[in-house]
Amino acid sequence: QQLESFKTRVMQVCSPSAAGSTGKSVTEQQVIEKVRQISDANQRSHEREKNLQKELSSRLTKEKEVSANIEVFKNSLQKLQ
């Protein structure tokens, strides 16, 4: 009974409609599958975050290079005048 109550609470947190007021008992396999889905989504989210951080770092590096090149260009123009 306690385990069933725990599974129901877990399912309500994971997917309120899945363990709603249908009166149906939540199976262990449903809980495992929902936890697996959440874990997979979490892993994909972490990968996406890591890739976005790499992309941001790359863009910041390029921006610094462009800024430095602009300064060199400005200095060159000033020397020509």
Domain ranges of the chain: 2-80
pTM comes to 0.60
What are the CA-CA distances from residue 57 to residues 37, 42, 62 (Å)?
Answer: 30, 22, 9
pLDDT block averages, 10 residues each, the chain of length 81: 78 64 67 89 98 98 97 94 83
pLDDT tens across 11-33, in order? 777 766 654 555 566 677 887 88
19 φ, ψ to 5°? -120, 35
